Amino acid sequence: MTLTTERVDSVVEALRGVLRDDQILTSKTDRWNRARVPAPFPVHRWAERLPDLAVLPETTEDVAAVVRIANELLVPVVPRDGGTGLTDGAVPLRGGIVVDVKRMNAIHEIDVLNRTCTVGTGINMLKLNEELAKHGLIYPDDPASYPCSLVGGRIGTSGWSLIGARYGHTRDLVLSFDHVLPTGEVLHVGDGIGHKITKSSSGYQLKHLFMGHQGTLGIATRATLKLFPKPEAELSPFWAFDNYDDAYACAGDLARAGVATFAGAVLFDEAKVAYLRRDDEAYIPQPADVRALVCAVMYGYEDEVRPAGRRLLRIARSHGGRYLGDEISEGDWAARHDRYATPLHGRTKAGQVVPMSWHCEDAAINFTDLPAVSREWHEIVAALRRQSDVFDDWGMFAYTSSDNGTDWLTEIDVGIWEQQLDDHAWALWVQAKRDLAAVSLKYHGSISACHGSCREGEVDLVPQELGRGFDVMLDLKRTLDPRNIMNPGKYHLDRAYS
């Protein structure tokens, strides 16, 4: 908590001029339950991340009014949407006001002919798609957190979608949005004039600047999204391999094939399959010679997907892939897609089962560098595990990011025994995150394709990754947020003010 009781009282008093009492939350539970995201953090340090209060705005004007007050009173503002991110964007580092946008979840318009909808950013994609389905449409932004993450968080983190190879990622699917700047001014941003325009050559391309900033440049409040016909058919074949190299080669060929309905491929490495076999109750056991897996998914009309499937099956067969059958393919894709594939336990080095939660570190890596990065990442986690039983290597996935196989979201899953995550173990973990990020940069990859890079550890390497671009970030931050009230403490942006 950064504010004195008297300061909180004066902030609340000012907020009462623009919000109803039921939109201003100051109780302990209101604050404790807006201090966390799913990423592991030592439980004993929970109190370090409490906001002083939270607000539940219902309109863009509400948000703008709150931000203006915060700017005037020099109180930190932390935007919170789903709170499902893994890089602490929604976590207050210096107290202040959490602006929780969940009440801004209205569907303002569904424009069937122009294939767009306009929504409040507090809406969840699954809930939105329940309504769009009535029109035969879909908004295909599909992260692992699909049932719970919100459109605004997807904008603030510039999210990655499992089926992005077919439909694009959040940056492609969000056409424009209303955005409250750190000064409380409201900006409409998109391509050129924004609104329902998908491509403009007019002016700077500002939309990307206001996506993926992890709440440091303001708060998106209302967004216009790009819609597609709801796919008639889904095909998600899984293939088994007796070694990683063949699986890797196959995954690359699948992604490079240029099949129009191809929505993504996933490569499970040998450590992942070993882990699933060891500890995942939902894993359907395969013969011991199955050591790596590949899956692909296609979406479209049935008369597109069937021949596309035959082509991908041919490619997989040529690499020695064994099709696992319809039941496992459909079931396992549903499991990877609709649920988080996370048992609640891992093991100590002695083999003792212990309660662990899942965490993953990700990067964007070119196809040709995947094997080397995988090898070095496993070595880092193995070293971590040698030092502490708090950590367990749960293997790696690689997912296509693009529709042509250029770069892959590379992810190492680490089980963390959070109940035992003391300061020493936490320090080990933070250093391991730095080491993982350093490997990504060594291979000319990006620190994160998906989760963001503003968390303790990897954030230290962001200036190195962006080079002169990081100085531009500092200049922009200082210009747009002159009093450093918007999500302060993130991304080393304090350097803009020193």
Partner 1 sequence: MSMTESGTEPDLRASDERTQEFVAEWRNASYNCFSSGHKFCREVCPVMQVTRNESWTPTAFHANVVAMERGDLEVADIAADYVNCTQCGACELRCPNTLFTGDFYRFRTRTVDVVKAVRALAVETGIHQPQWQTWNERTDERTHEPVLGAVEVSQEHVRDWAADLDLPIGGESILFVDCEAAFYRTSVPRAVAQILQAAGYEFGLMAEQWCCGGPAAEMGYVDQARRFAEHNLADWRAAGAKRVLVLDPHDYITFTEDYPKYFGADFDIEVVLVVELLAEFIRDGVLTPSIPVERTITYHDPCRLNKRKGIWKEPREILRAIPGLTFHDVDRVTQWSYCSGGGGGLPIEKPELTAAISADRVARAAALEVDTLVSACPWSERPLREAGAAQSIDVVDIHELLAESLGITVGGSRGS
Q: Which of 53, 56, 290, 365 binds partner 1 (CB under 8 A)?
A: 56
161 binds partner 1 (CB under 8 A): no
59 binds partner 1 (CB under 8 A): no
Q: Which residue has the tokens 């979608």?
A: 161
Binding positions for partner 1, 353-392, rule CB under 8 A: 354-358, 388-390
What residues have CB less than 8 Å from 310, skipping those under 6 apart? Answer: none
Residue number, 389 or 393, with CB nearest to partner 1: 389
Q: Which of 2, 7, 10, 38 binds partner 1 (CB under 8 A)?
A: 38
Q: Which of 147, 192, 320, 371 binds partner 1 (CB under 8 A)?
A: 147
Q: Which of 16, 339, 375, 444 binds partner 1 (CB under 8 A)?
A: 339
Residue number, 46 or 301, with CB nearest to partner 1: 46
Binding positions for partner 1, 318-337, rule CB under 8 A: 335
Residue number, 36 or 115, with CB nearest to partner 1: 36
Residue number, 126 or 313, with CB nearest to partner 1: 126
Residue number, 112 or 284, with CB nearest to partner 1: 284
277 binds partner 1 (CB under 8 A): no
Of the ranges 280-288, 308-316, 403-411, 484-492, which one interacts with partner 1 (CB under 8 A)? Answer: 280-288
Residue number, 32 or 443, with CB nearest to partner 1: 32
For the bound state, the minimum distance from the C-beta of residue 147 to partner 1, rounded and expressed in Å, comes to 5
Of the ranges 3-11, 123-131, 260-268, 295-303, which one interacts with partner 1 (CB under 8 A)? Answer: 123-131
344 binds partner 1 (CB under 8 A): yes
Binding positions for partner 1, 392-421, rule CB under 8 A: 417-420
Q: Which of 1, 2, 7, 30 binds partner 1 (CB under 8 A)?
A: 30
Residue number, 82 or 164, with CB nearest to partner 1: 82
Residue number, 358 or 443, with CB nearest to partner 1: 358
87 binds partner 1 (CB under 8 A): no
Exposed e or buried b per residue across 36-55, where buried means at least 16 C-beta atoms within 10 angstroms of its C-beta: bbebbbbeeeeeebbbbbbb
Q: What is the rounded distance in angstroms from the CA atom of residue 187 to the CA atom of residue 165?
A: 30
Q: Which of 4, 9, 20, 44 binds partner 1 (CB under 8 A)?
A: 44
For the bound state, the minimum distance from the C-beta of residue 392 to partner 1, rounded and expressed in Å, comes to 11
33 binds partner 1 (CB under 8 A): yes
Interface contacts to partner 1, rule CB under 8 A: 25, 27-30, 32-34, 36-38, 40, 43-44, 46-47, 56, 82-84, 100, 102-103, 105, 122, 124, 126-127, 145, 147-148, 280-282, 335, 339-344, 348, 350, 352, 354-358, 388-390, 417-420, 422, 424-425
